[in-house]
Amino acid sequence: MPRRKLIAPGVYMWRSYVSALLAERDQLRRELLSTKQELDEVRSLLRELKAATMARYRAEEELRLLYREREIQRARATERSPDAWLN
């Protein structure tokens, strides 16, 4: 008669514990992957925002220079009366 193996009752509990840990690990890996993808999307949006902000700064600077040039041209075009005070 073949001998029956005796398995301690704790082995079944240990197996279910390990199985639960592996399932949790897999779930956490999926969540991590999802989080990394979201992070990549946010970084991409941040790069786009930075580029748009830099373009706006350059446009504002160019506009400031154009206003300055316009004021210089107006000042040159204005004829001053010889009888007018300098100050």
In tens, the pLDDT along 14-33 reads 888 999 999 999 999 999 99
- Listed by start position, the domains of the chain span 33-77
Report the largest interatomic distance among the alpha carbons of the chain, rounded to a whole angstrom.
Answer: 133
Lowest-pLDDT choice from 18-32, 44-58, 64-78: 64-78
Share of the chain above pLDDT 70, in %: 89
Distance of CA 17 to the CA centre of its chain: 39
42 phi/psi in degrees, rounded to 5: -65, -40
Q: For residue 6, what pLDDT is reported?
A: 63
Confidence of residue 87 (pLDDT cuts 50, 70, 90): low
